[in-house]
Structure formats: structure tokens, C-alpha cells
Structure 1
Amino acid sequence: MPSLRRDQVGWLLAGAALTLAPHAGHLPPAISALCALLLVWRGLIAQRGSRLPPRTLLVVLAAGVVGSVLLEFHHFFGKEPGIALLAGLLSLKLLETDSLRDARAAVLLSLFMQLGQFLYQQDMAIAALALLGTLASIGTLLALQGRAEAVAPRALAALRLLLLALPLMLVLFLLFPRVQGPLWGLPADAYSAVSGLSDNMAPGDIARVSESAEIAFRAAFEGDPPPPAERYWRGPVLTRFDGRTWRPGPSRRHGQPFYRSSGPAYPYTLTLEPHNQHWLLALDFPGPAAGLAYGDDFRLLSREPVRSRLRLELVAHPATPVGLDENPRTLQEALKLPPGFNPRTRALGEQLRAAAGRADDIPALAIRHFRDSRLAYTLTPAPLGRDDVDSFLFDTRQGFCEHFAAAFVVTMRAAGVPARVVTGYQGGEINPVDGTLVVRQSDAHAWAEVWLATKGWLRVDPTAASAPRRIDGGLAAALPGSARLPLLARSDLPWLRALRDRMDAVNNRWNQWVLGYNPARQRELVASLGFGDTGWQSLIALMAGGCAVVMGGLTLWALRRVSTTDAIDRSWLRVCRRLAAAGHPRQAWEGPSNYASRLAREAPEAAAGLAPIAADYARLRYGPAPADAALLKRFHHSSRKFRPR
């Protein structure tokens, strides 16, 4: 097999680098550094014209890559170790690649690695990076099968091929039968990178979630959204407490809401990012929705973990009274406190119970006590002791929302009022570009629910007593200037917020119309085209027809390009026509040099001056390097002046 030219190696390295660069944020630093060193080494070999390393050394390096992956992950099965192993092997492959066959194998491996990017994210940035890597891979294939050429023309040729593929890609995207969910089983760690709330809560957990500016979900309301004080998006409901960690209690599922909705209705479309959990983070309290489940604790639940972006049409009724006929076992669970923990808070609860005229007054007395205690709202509270609620209420008096909610619920239970912690998100920010309500991880929040015999379950947010701006303006308003706030959540950088809003609006369009193109939307599109409600057989027939139309159009375009001659061919054909008119036609199998040689033997007078014209045409059409202007000018001038005798 022939050795690779320097430009071919350059394209291989560029394609591999553009493929591996997006993975650098997910790969272990040692693997990323090793891949970079191997690519640089291969580039130096090509530049200096040195020999490739011996096979023995490559085997040792391969063992080192395998060992590094095993040391980092302790196994080879799964998304993370699999991608890391492929990255190392791709870099090593280039160190043994000096033939067209191996080079094509490396290109195929690069294309496979570009698909691996979508196991982490599917946003527009990742799609653009994958497209750039694909462009480099196509340019590499062109370089492997053609002569040496400058980078810009080669890249333009690759881009032209990508553009030619767009119509076929569009047909396949629109008409290929959509399958809700993955086509194959993903590895167990495929969703390890998702962020969000956990199904339990300990001091500091929500504060860590709030340091992220990632989008948790979006909501597009048909009319005006509810006021900020009603924007509580329910997640895990935590009833059991062991002295430090809050966990969910027992809960049954219902196929329909088991409460009667009342009060103002807010219809909206929820676009939920994947978080690998069952809860749907709906606004209190959702009305009937097909295919969903309703928990005893008023959560809206999916029947399967949310592992891909989910779009739901919902209606919320925040003023609905709930829990008036609550199960006694649930109320007993909501009164339990672990023995031996937080004695001062227990004493506070007993004092409030003694001071209150009736049970309904106890929550308001507790809120007044929290406000009078001047508790500070902060992302960086002081360390707490074993009795963390006591330490927060009576010693440090600094905490985040989970400290406020946990302390309030413990106080309520000590006072004999059933209570529990609810975690989720509070607030959100209207994007002025597209009008959607964007809720980020920095909006993660914890609040309390208390049960009163005359009113059922009521939401009480003790954080609002100390930081009311958290409810009205979000985390940035409650903690202005905090260094731990996410950069994109800062309120003191208006230009950055404007840029973020525009990017979010564009990403939302991408999510809705590209990533959100599900079977229901496909059926709507096909129906709008006049084909009615079609099954997968009809979709395949439509797809085949669409592909046939596209391929037919491309074929006609290609045939037209073949039959259309350029200026060089037109000048040469003019010479051939004049010779044919003089009785010396060119045979179909004859090239320019053979034609000139034959006429020089058979009709030297008629062929006078033909040899230099044929030689110039051969250089212009088949030469190894681009023609210069002088040669081109001479050829056209000679062909016009040529007259056979």
C-alpha cells in the first residue's frame, strides 16, 4: 500500500483533533493529555519525515491506555470508560497509520467518536462541533483519494458534499419512523452526567445544586404566568427524618388527580430536561393529564425515569385545597422525630404550642420567631454540629433554604403539627426574547408543608421570612454580589444576561423543533401534508418516495454537470471539430496525446500545430498542479487560431 502524503496526515490529525476536543471535558485529564501528546507526536513524525514507532512500542502504549482507563474507572463497561478507551485507541491508531486502508479505518473511528458526543448532550453547540468534525472527516476522505491540494479548496469541496446531503438528511429526519426512547440499550452510566435534585436532602445539598446555571426546565404559559409567590414547582416530598437526612415517606400512585381542582387555572407547556428521576416538577396542583401518575404527596410523576427531554401540556390550579381527608398514617409519619436530636428546637416547639390558642396559630408564631431571630440567608453557612437544626436556629443562625425548611418542620412536629419538607424549584425568569419562563438549577428550593385540620396541607416557606427577595426576584436578588452565584445568574452583568436570553431562546427553538420532534409531531406533519393518520409502513413508503425524488434530482444535477463543459474543454472540442470537418475525426477512445501522435503520422499537414495544443490541454486537464495564467492564455489563443490544412 502507498505511504501517506504529508497533507493526508495533516487532514487525519485535524479530523482526530476536532473529534477528540469536545470529549476533553468528559475524559479524565490523564487520558486527554495522553491523546494530545500522541497527536503531537504523529504530527512531528509527518513534519520531519521520520519513521513510525515500532510495533512493540505501540503495544506498550496500548497497554498503558488500557491500564489508565482501568485505573480511572475500575472497569471497561459503560459510557465513560468506553469513550475514554476509544479516544486513546484513535490517537494510537494514527501512530501506526501509513497506508490508505489504515487511514480510512481511522476516519471511520473518528465518525463513530463524533456520535459519542451525543451521549452527553444534544444541544446546538454539540451538533455544531459534530458537524465540524464530520466536515474534517469528509475532507480527509477527499485527500486520501485525490491529489495534493490547498486546505481551502479541499474544505470547500467537503462542505459542498455536506450541502448536497442536506436534502436527503431532511427527508430522513422528517419521515423516518420516530421511536419514543432509545433504539438500543444504553450503558448503565449513560445518565450519570445529569444534574438536579436528589430524592433525599441533607444540609448543603440544595446549596450545591443552586451553584449551577444549567436549565432545569422551561414553561410556556398560554396567558399570563402566575405571580412569583405561586411559582412553586414540586419535586421530592420528604417526610422521614433521621436527625440529619430527610427522605421520602411511603406514597401511592393514582391514575387521575384525587383532589378537586379549583381556583385560577394556568395552562402551560412544560419542557423538562432529563434528570433520570420520576418526578415531573409540575406547578402545584396539576389537572388531569393522560399517561401520567399522581402521588399521594401531590407530585406529578412519569411512569418511567425522565431520560430524555420531555414536553408536556399541563394545567395548574395553585389555589386548590388539598389534604382535608388525609390518611391518618400519613399524618402520623409527618409527626415523627428521631429521639435524642435537637433538644432546643423541641423545646421551642413545645413553647409555641403552649403559647398558641389553637393549632392553626402555631405556624404563624414559628414564622414570627424565625423573623425575630434574624436568621441570615447565605450560600456559605458556618459548619453545623450533630444537632444541625439546633445549631442553625440558636448558634450560627446562617443557612440556605434547606436549613430554614428543615428547622421549621422540626419545630412544627415538636409543636404537634404534622409537617414535611418539599424540595423542587421556586420562581423562574421570563425570557424577554421568546416569553418562556426559564427555571435553572440555581432556582432549586426547599420549603415546608403543614397540615391543619380545617385547611388541609398548606405551603409555608420559612425562607421568605428572612429573605423575601428570594421569592420575588430569585437567588441573585436575595444574594447580590455572591461569588458562588453562577455567572449566568448574576444580576450585575446586564449585557451577559441579554446574551444568555438570546442563546436560551435559540436553544429553546432547537429543543422544540429538532430534539422535540417526536412521533406525535411527525403524525401532525404527515397529516398536514394530506396523508392522514399513517402507520410505520406508510411512513416508510413516504420516506422511500422522498428519498427517490431527492436522489433523482441529484442524479439529474450530476448528469447536467457532466455534460456541461468548461472553457478548457470547449476550446479543445473546437479544435477536434475542425479536424473532423477536414476529414480527420478523433476516435472516442483517443486521448489528446494519442490523437496528435496519430495525425502526425497519417496527416502531417493537417496536424501542423496540433501537438503543442494537445500537450497544453493534457497539462491543463490532467496535470498534477494547478495551471498558471500564462499556460491557460496560450492554450486558448492557440486553439482559436488553429486551422487544419
Structure 2
Amino acid sequence: MRPSSPQAIDQAAVPWLLAVALATASPHGEHLPPWLSVLFAAALLWRLWLWWQRQPLPPRWLLALLVLAALAGIAWQYRSLLGRDSGVAMLVMFMALKPLEMKTRRDAMVVVMLGFFLLLTHYFYSQSIPTGLWLLASCTLLTAALIRLHGGSQPPAAIIRQAGLLLLQALPFMLILYLLFPRVSGPLWGLPQDAHAGRSGLSNEMAPGSISNLILSGAIAFRSHFASGIPEKSDLYWRGPVLDAYDGLTWRASTPAAGRARMVPVVEARGTPYSYSSIIEAHGQRWLLALDVATSLPAGAVQAPTLEVLAREPLRARSRFVFTSSVDYHANRNETAAALQQALALPPTINPRARALADQWKSRPPARIADAVLSLFRNEDFHYTLRPPLLGADAVDEFLFGTRRGFCEHYASAFVFLLRAAGVPARVVAGYQGGEVNPVDGYLIVRQSDAHAWAEVWLAGEGWVRYDPTAAVAPSRIEQGIVAALPQDEPLPAIVGLDADWLRQLRYRWEAANNAWNQWVLGYNPQRQRDILSRFGMANPDWQGMSAALAVLSGVALLLVTVWTLPRRRRADPAQRAWQRYCKALARRGVTRAAWEGPLAFARRVAVERPQLAALTSDAARCYAALRYGRGDSEQLLVLQECVHRLPARWRNSP
């Protein structure tokens, strides 16, 4: 027997498949090189024109040349055909060119399966709510294309409705798999080559302009939820890297000696402790941005001798941590000689005017020297700005005695330089200051625009004491935030400068929804899965128990869906209900219609067995046949319903 030839694709199904290609691949345009996006658009438009004009598809040799050229372009663009970005680019290229050879149903199935696969790749770049909604809509479209491909011509609305019903039937299985499928640690959609990209903006070095550039981003750095009250805004200092090495332009975090690296800092907490949990966005560094200073650490974290809290590995995925902190404390009152020596180091010969100024204060106590620098900033004509002039080799001199315009890193850097030049140990601390409470979910949101730099001074008997020179120049920055501190003509991220109340409320709700999505969907890690399952009676859930529960619940869900989708008795239309009532009334008189008996044949038999009802039954049967099998109208439905009421009362069956 000769094998059957492949079934040709229905001409009217082609637009469905082109819509599938567009929906599943077009969001990648943000990540693709422009030439590949142009190739994708041109290929789909070409295929649409060929379909519209009913022209033959291009020859195979031309498609082969296009594939080879596109592969060469991808290899040149990404320097490889392996990896996330190049792999996604090849999938998009295949989706663009496959419709140009799509003739049979088998080719169409390749396009649909390629579309399903492309949907997964979007999570490599974004796991946001809009991405999830777009992928759900695209999945509905893919299912609709399958229905159109195999179910023939139908109204588009009916196809979409059936696709939505199929996805609704899959919903119980999705929920069961979400809850019970064993979770893995780490980001599900991360790839090794992408893991080292920091995203928060803070780094372990600070030069003039580094933080002022970061201030223009309204992205969220982390969220914190306090178990009881939130500290005053002036106490919200979130410690990041401590920068104690200076080369004249850039402050960096020094590498401590092996012995000092193993030292545990001594923190004497005073006042009210604050317990809170923080959800920190991935930033590619180890610091965990705890409220200054942490007294209780998350599992696996350590506290460096310079008081910042460090994770074992760089933070490459959004993670949740629980801390206890104190905002009133003594830290390292007995500091090591090596740490104090590092906190005094300065490059020789630079900034002579600043050194001369510091020499005038050397006879004073260290705390008085720090106060003198603050008074200088407070009383002289210094300005807080995101757009300071460029500085040269003697940056501190030019800032203090020339420009007098700067952002927090300028003031922190100049403050620490003057203290060190006067013989007082001091260092720069980078991190975040402040935050905004979202009234919808109660989380304190700290953005990149809250990035800040301040200073710490070591005082005998007190340890490391925080000094914020920015507060001396622009106290509103600490009390009210960055918007209140900057002049009106300064640039700000749009999300920070929103003044309209309705926009602010909309942002609060959207960010609360994103927070819930991040915690309960993207953040559904092994620990959270164990917590949830323990509430349902699984005291010590392991993979064996979860697999058994998964099998049982999936079987139950399958049974319920099967019962729901079994052929059910259709609800009769008005004509059928009226005809059935008429036939039931005749059955009471001894004339029963057989299941196979048509209305007209039944009317003829009634005329023989009950002549007095011949005319009435003939009218009812004629109207029902027209309504059921022909083109009956509303008048015939009224006649049929009147026939039921015209039956003698003792023969009529009640509804």
C-alpha cells in the first residue's frame, strides 16, 4: 500500500499560524539585534503577502541561503551559536523562516510546537506579571491555532472560547503541580553565563558621580517588612559596602588581612531592637543591605569586621532574609590597630589646602574635629546637586575651596579626607538611606534613588560612630527624601517625582501586586513550599510524600475533569420542550411516540388512532419539523406552544 501524501494545510488557517509566530517571538525584539528583528518582520510580511495573493512559496534553495546567512549573522553578533542569547536568536530566526515553507499540516504543527517552546524562553529575560499575562494570552492563541488546524473552519470567537475552556480545564493540574512539584534551590530561569551581572548599581568602589548616576533609577533595590514599628526615617540607614581605601579619586573596599577577616565585630545594642524581613533584588554582590547595624543574621550569613552583613555567595536571584537590627549601638569599641591604621591612610602630596585646613584642627578632640567639618558644610556656601562640576587631580581641594557643589559622595569623601588628615580614623559607608512605606501591603520600599554615602568615625570609648555630612548641607534629604532635597530643575526618575495622588495610589497597588507575585510565584522556593505544605498536614514533606500527593491529587483532578467533560444531555430549546410536552400528553392517552419516530410520521399515526386530534397533532408536528429541521420562525413557535394548550385538559401533561 502506498503511504498517504501529507495533508495540505487549509488556506484559511495560515493567518492563525502567522499570528502565533508574531505573538510568541515579537516580545524578544527588545533583546535581539535590530537586523534580526527586521528579518523577522520582513519574513512574516512576505508570507502574509504570498497568502493574500495566493502565490507559490519561495524555493527551498533560497530559504537555505537565508538560514545560512542568518546563522552566520548570529554567530558574528554573539561570537557563538551556544548560550542563552544566541539560542533565542536562532529560535526566532526559525520561527520567521519556517512559515515560508509551510505547505502541509505537519509544517504547521512544527510552527505551533516552536511557538510553545518560544514561550518558555521569555522567562529568561523577565518574570513579571505583564510577561505572565502575555504568555497566557499567547498560549490561548496557540491552542486556538491547533483547534483551527484540526477542527476545520469555525467562527473565530468559537475557536477562542474553546481554547479558553481547554486551558480552564488544565487549571487544576497547574495548581497541583505548582504546589507539590519538588522545588529546586536557586533561580529556575537563570543561566550560568548571566549569573554574574549585577543589577542594583552599588559596587565596592565609589568615585564622584557613581551614586549620583544611580539616583536617576527608580528601580526597587529591596523591600522590608517590620514586625512592629518602623524606625524614624532619619534612622533608616541600610549598610552596604564599607570603603576604606582611597587613591585620591576613588574609594574602595580594602581586602582585610587573613586574621582580621575572621574576626567577629563586637556590637553592643542599645534601645529598641527591630525585627524585619527584607526581599532583596539580585545585585551580583554579597552584601545584604541590613538596617544599620544588624544584631541577628539570616542563616548562612556572616558579619564582616566592618559591620556589613555578607551572604556566602553573590546574590544572583531575588531572595528573602530575616534580620534583627539596632539603630542605637556601640560597635568595635576595641578596634584592631590594623583597622585603625587603614582608616588613617591617605595618598601623599594630594589636596594640600585640605591638609592645611585639617592641620589647624589636630589639637582638638576627634569629636570636635568632626563637628568642625560639619559646621564648615553647614555654614559655608555649599550646595547639594546631582550635576556638580568635574573635578581634577586635587578633587577634595577643588570641591572644598572652589566648586562647593556636589552630591553625597562628594561630601562623604571630603569629610573622611579631612578627618584622616587631622589624624582621626574615618571611612566611607555606601548603601541606602530612607524608604517609602507602601500603604497597600505595609512594605517599606527602598529604591535605587535612595542610594547614599555617609561616613563613620572611630572615637575612643564609643567605637564607630555614624556621621552624615549630607545632612549638614541638605537635612531635607534625610528627613523627607531625595525629591525634597534637590532643586526643582534637577533631573529625577519619573516614578520618584510623581505628585498626583491617583498616580501614587496606582503605583502603590501595582507594586504591592508585584511584591505578592514575587513572593508567592517567583519566590516559591523549597523553604516556602515546606511551610505551605506543613499547613496542610504534611509535617515533614519530602520528595516521596510530595510525589505521592501529586499522583493522588492529579488522579482526582483528572476524574473530576472527565466527569465534567463527559457528554451531557443537552438542554432542549423552546421548540423541543413544547413538542415533548405535547407528546407526553398524548402518551397519557395511549399514543406513545417511539424514539425513532419523526414528527410527521407520528402525526399520521395519531390521525389513525385518535382522529379527533388529527388536525391539532398535524399542526404541532408541522411547526416542530419546520423549527427543528427547516427555517421555522417565531410565529410557528407560538403555534406549537398554543397546540399544547389546546389539548383537552384531561389529556394535557403538566409542565
When the two structures are superposed, what TM-score results if normalisation uses the length of structure 2? 0.84
Q: Distance in 1 between the 2:424 and 2:263 partners?
A: 30
Matching of residues 580-619 of structure 1 within 5 Å: none
Q: Corresponding residue for 1:535?
A: 542
Residue type of the alignment partner of 2:171: L
> SS of the counterpart of 1:114?
helix
Task: Decide whether the 8 Å contact of 1:257 with 1:288 is kept in 2.
Answer: no
The counterpart of 1:312, out of the listed 312, 317, 321, is 321
Aligned-residue offset at 1:173: 0.7
Q: Distance in 1 between the 2:203 and 2:638 partners?
A: 76
CA RMSD of aligned residues (A): 3.5
> SS of the counterpart of 2:252?
strand
Q: Corresponding residue for 2:341?
A: 332
Q: Corresponding residue for 2:607?
A: none
Aligned-residue offset at 1:200: 1.6
The counterpart of 2:493, out of the listed 480, 486, 490, is 486
> SS of the counterpart of 1:19?
helix
> SS of the counterpart of 2:277?
strand
The counterpart of 1:552, out of the listed 550, 555, 559, is 559
Count how many residue pairs are aligned between Structure 1 and Structure 2. Answer: 604
Q: Corresponding residue for 1:98?
A: 103
Relative to structure 1, the CA distance from residue 415 to residue 246 in structure 2 (aligned partners, 3 Å threshold; closer, same or farther) is same
Q: Distance in 2 between the 1:492 and 1:86 partners?
A: 44
Q: Corresponding residue for 2:400?
A: 393
Aligned-residue offset at 1:394: 2.4
Alpha-carbon deviations, 1:178-202, whole Å to 9, x = none? 2221468723125537333122222
Relative to structure 1, the CA distance from residue 404 to residue 112 in structure 2 (aligned partners, 3 Å threshold; closer, same or farther) is farther
Alpha-carbon deviations, 1:368-399, whole Å to 9, x = none? 11223322211222222233333322222222
Q: Distance in 2 between the 1:471 and 1:584 partners?
A: 86
Kindly indicate whether residue 280 of structure 2 is the aligned counterpart of residue 272 of structure 1.
yes
Q: Corresponding residue for 1:36?
A: 41
Kindly indicate whether residue 117 of structure 2 is the aligned counterpart of residue 112 of structure 1.
yes
Q: Corresponding residue for 2:30?
A: 25
Q: List runs of 5+ in structure 2 lacking aligned partners.
A: 1-5, 581-586, 599-621, 644-655
Aligned-residue offset at 1:413: 1.5
> SS of the counterpart of 1:487?
coil
Aligned-residue offset at 1:70: 3.4
Q: Corresponding residue for 2:270?
A: 262
Q: Distance in 2 between the 1:302 and 1:375 partners?
A: 38
Q: Corresponding residue for 1:243?
A: 248
Task: Decide whether the 8 Å contact of 1:274 with 1:306 is kept in 2.
Answer: yes
Relative to structure 1, the CA distance from residue 351 to residue 495 in structure 2 (aligned partners, 3 Å threshold; closer, same or farther) is farther
Q: Corresponding residue for 2:181?
A: 176
Kindly indicate whether residue 515 of structure 2 is the aligned counterpart of residue 508 of structure 1.
yes
Kindly indicate whether residue 290 of structure 2 is the aligned counterpart of residue 285 of structure 1.
no
Alpha-carbon deviations, 1:36-70, whole Å to 9, x = none? 23222222222222222222322332233334333
Alpha-carbon deviations, 1:572-593, whole Å to 9, x = none? 999xxx9xx999979xxxxx9x
Q: Distance in 2 between the 1:633 and 1:117 partners?
A: 57
Alpha-carbon deviations, 1:458-501, whole Å to 9, x = none? 11111111111111111111125345211110043333222111
Alpha-carbon deviations, 1:310-344, whole Å to 9, x = none? 11221111111102111211111121122343333
Kindly indicate whether residue 433 of structure 2 is the aligned counterpart of residue 429 of structure 1.
no
> SS of the counterpart of 2:38?
helix
Q: Corresponding residue for 1:597?
A: none
Aligned-pair identity (%) = 43
The counterpart of 1:152, out of the listed 154, 157, 167, is 157
Relative to structure 1, the CA distance from residue 278 to residue 459 in structure 2 (aligned partners, 3 Å threshold; closer, same or farther) is same
Relative to structure 1, the CA distance from residue 436 to residue 89 in structure 2 (aligned partners, 3 Å threshold; closer, same or farther) is same
Kindly indicate whether residue 389 of structure 2 is the aligned counterpart of residue 382 of structure 1.
yes
Task: Decide whether the 8 Å contact of 2:198 with 2:283 is kept in 1.
Answer: no
Kindly indicate whether residue 429 of structure 2 is the aligned counterpart of residue 414 of structure 1.
no
Q: Corresponding residue for 1:368?
A: 375
Deviates more, 1:216-225 or 1:191-200: 191-200
Matching of residues 73-84 of structure 1 within 5 Å: 73-84=78-89
Q: Distance in 2 between the 1:34 and 1:339 partners?
A: 59
Task: Decide whether the 8 Å contact of 1:616 with 1:635 is kept in 2.
Answer: no
Aligned-residue offset at 1:432: 2.0
Relative to structure 1, the CA distance from residue 97 to residue 400 in structure 2 (aligned partners, 3 Å threshold; closer, same or farther) is farther
The counterpart of 1:88, out of the listed 71, 89, 93, is 93
Q: Corresponding residue for 1:448?
A: 455
Alpha-carbon deviations, 1:334-371, whole Å to 9, x = none? 21122343333333322332xx5222211111111122
Q: Distance in 2 between the 1:215 and 1:183 partners?
A: 21
Q: Distance in 2 between the 1:55 and 1:192 partners?
A: 41
Alpha-carbon deviations, 1:208-228, whole Å to 9, x = none? 221111111111112221111
Deviates more, 1:224-233 or 1:492-501: 492-501
Deviates more, 1:53-62 or 1:290-299: 53-62
Highest Rg: 1 or 2? 2
Deviates more, 1:400-409 or 1:178-187: 178-187
Deviates more, 1:453-462 or 1:337-346: 337-346
Aligned-residue offset at 1:307: 1.8
Alpha-carbon deviations, 1:127-177, whole Å to 9, x = none? 112212212111122122111223222212111111111111111111112
Task: Decide whether the 8 Å contact of 2:70 with 2:93 is kept in 1.
Answer: yes
Residue type of the alignment partner of 2:288: L
Alpha-carbon deviations, 1:48-94, whole Å to 9, x = none? 22222222322332233334333433333333333233222322222
When the two structures are superposed, what TM-score results if normalisation uses the length of structure 1? 0.85
